[in-house]
Chain A
């Protein structure tokens, strides 16, 4: 979805929710404050002039460089970036939302960062959020059934984190 006019309406309806934007990128994106993501998506789904009625894809990019030599050269601070790809069936346009959260809540390793769940906006968000929780380790508050979906329930760690280490052994099966 291109055009700054649309963004102004969003800003007017939910002041302070939009914290950044890049409309020149290949896929123009809007950055949302993570705690406001459910409000913004609710607005986009039901009250926006262009109704984004489906969540196509949801993913997390882990910005973390485990190698200290390379980490000294990068320009960003370690964080997780949630990426939402929305689609409007009626208008046939897509919209990319991003939100930045810390890798661990309060910088305590093991404490998952929290983001409001979108299950109340689109029921289809259920499985997407379970997958993100399972593989990237983000806790979705308000999700009705947040369990691992692809990995076994007793799996440890979040495989799509950059500093993930594969277990040496799982129930007697050699890992490495």
Chain B
């Protein structure tokens, strides 16, 4: 006992907290799989976040060097397993780009139909799980109820509920069963009015807005520098969507389809007269905007599904057979990015002329989206870390590959 302060204020002033390392994950429920975050905290304030990834690493790229292009399709399923259809599509198109192959008109419209349904299913999980991150359970149940119906449709079309391998190199593995389009339309009719419920549950919910508005604000330049994409990029106000801005082979798929990129322009979102106004506290690039962009994309994808149903049913003739399992790929390399629900999914393929690719590469959107998390979390509160990481809507299967 060297010194005892007489004035209690001095003692209070003297109390210091040490820096502490807190481990979040790899089994933390709010880390969306097996992500480990090491937080350096001073009291409640996070000074540094370091994500540790790789717990789900299978080196899918190495596996791809030992299989033919079509045989690798099931491995793409296991990347973003919440939007496996979109992963299949990305790889199939990248191979078709190198082969300069064009699928039939009917297959093209069916691909749009399936990919947009996949986007709705993925965003529903994104929305529901984000509610879970912030401590509300009900939206998750609502979201999964509707997602279940999409999975039922997918199961009817291809037999699987999670890992579809439906879209494949040169087309699709099978045509739709009879009556499927009617059931799909019935689902859309039932789903459309429900969107309003979601907005009441989350978008305009006072607690939800308090937890997300003005939290984790990402500037436009930061998003671009980190190579962020998808709703994360558009939530920061960058008007970019590969369905419109991508390469010809991909944008040709959406030729003739009417849709508007879900991004804020002049302070307005497309069709924002139908939906709740942006809360006063929210600023562009925060968690709320990233979430809202996904909600708008669900509506937009529903539109696209309706358009593709009309076009698909107008197409006469057969769907066309996919390419052979061991089809030879011409020598060369090709890279293609597609707009998957989580962001731009890129596939790179190098071929030496045989059926087995020399090198395959999957550029994951969640990988780049997660890389920006340490920047967003600097100086935030511990409770905001799940809010920020959740708003990026990552899937570890895609990050770790």
Contact = CB atoms under 8 A, between A and B. Distances in A.
Contacts of B361: 57, 59
Interface stretch (B55-63, B110-118, B205-213, B300-308): B55-63
A134 B367 CA distance: 15
Nearest to B347: A57
Nearest to A83: B348
Contacts of A27: 333-335
A53 B238 CA distance: 13
Contact of B371 (A25, A89, A126, A152): A126
Interface string A68-99: 00000000000000010101010010101000
Contact of A54 (B225, B245, B333, B358): B225
B333 A26 contact: yes
Interface string A46-78: 000000011111010110000000000000000
Contacts of A26: 97-98, 100, 332-334
Interface string A33-53: 000000000000000000001
Given A123-B226, A127-B367, A149-B53, A57 B346 contact: yes
A56 B346 contact: yes
B359 interface: yes
B31 interface: no
B74 interface: no
B59 A89 contact: no
B240 A25 contact: no
B350 interface: yes
B335 A159 contact: no
Interface residues of B, number: 38
A54 B372 CA distance: 13
Nearest to A59: B361
A89 to B, nearest CB: 5
Interface string B27-64: 00000000000000000000000000110010101100
A55 B228 CA distance: 10
Q: Which of A53, A57, A151, A152 has the most CB of B within 10 A?
A: A57
A164 B63 CA distance: 13
B168 interface: no
A124 B227 contact: yes
Contacts of A89: 224, 238, 240
Interface string B339-365: 000001010101000000011010100
B348 A57 contact: yes
B398 interface: no
A122 interface: yes
A168 interface: no
A54 B221 CA distance: 10
B341 to A, nearest CB: 18
Contacts of A108: none
Contact of B337 (A53, A56, A62, A124): A56
A59 B348 contact: yes
A131 B361 CA distance: 12
A36 B91 CA distance: 32
B368 interface: yes
Contacts of B400: 150
A53 B225 CA distance: 6
A87 B346 CA distance: 12
Contacts of B348: 57, 59, 83, 85
Contacts of A10: none
A99 B100 CA distance: 26
Contacts of B100: 26
A53 B54 contact: no
Interface string A144-165: 0000111110000001100010
15 contacts: A26-B98, A26-B333, A53-B225, A54-B225, A56-B346, A59-B361, A61-B333, A89-B238, A92-B245, A123-B226, A124-B227, A124-B372, A148-B54, A152-B54, A159-B59
Interface of A: 25-27, 53-57, 59, 61-62, 83, 85, 87, 89, 92, 94, 96, 122-124, 126-127, 131, 135, 148-152, 159-160, 164
Q: Which 3 pairs across A and B sit closest by C-beta, in order of nearness?
A: A57-B363, A124-B226, A150-B54
Given A124-B372, A150-B401, A160-B61, 18 more contacts: A25-B333, A26-B334, A57-B335, A59-B359, A61-B333, A61-B358, A85-B335, A85-B363, A87-B227, A122-B225, A123-B226, A124-B225, A124-B227, A135-B59, A150-B53, A151-B54, A159-B62, A160-B62
